[in-house]
Amino acid sequence: MTIKGKTLPVVLNAEYAGIVQDPYGQTKTGLTVEGKIKRSEFGLTWNAVTEAGKVVVGDEIHLTAELQFIKS
């Protein structure tokens, strides 16, 4: 992944959901992909503290994608 000109490898875990045929006769498959990155590793260090002492933006970012593919 490249952010602000810095490229680092990101490990993503994928869960295969299988293959189905929808009511219209299309063959589809799906995946759930998850991973995480640390903002600081990409040089993203901006943050602020609220009046209650909590940080506004966390360092660890969770990535999630639900993907669906149609056979053409």
In the prediction, which pLDDT does 41 show? 95
If you average pLDDT over residues 23-46, what whole number do you get? 95
| Domains of the chain, earliest start first | 2-70 (2.40.128.110)
- Average pLDDT of the chain? 94
Can you tell me the distance from the alpha carbon of 9 to that of 7, in angstroms, rounded to the nearest whole number? 7
What is the pTM assigned to this prediction? 0.75
If you average pLDDT over residues 48-70, what whole number do you get? 91
Name the 3-class secondary structure at 41.
helix
Structure tokens at 60: 């660890």
Name the 3-class secondary structure at 42.
helix
Q: Select the more confidently predicted residue: 57 or 20.
A: 20
Q: Are 44 and 19 in contact (CB under 8 A)?
A: no
What is the C-alpha R_g of the chain? 18
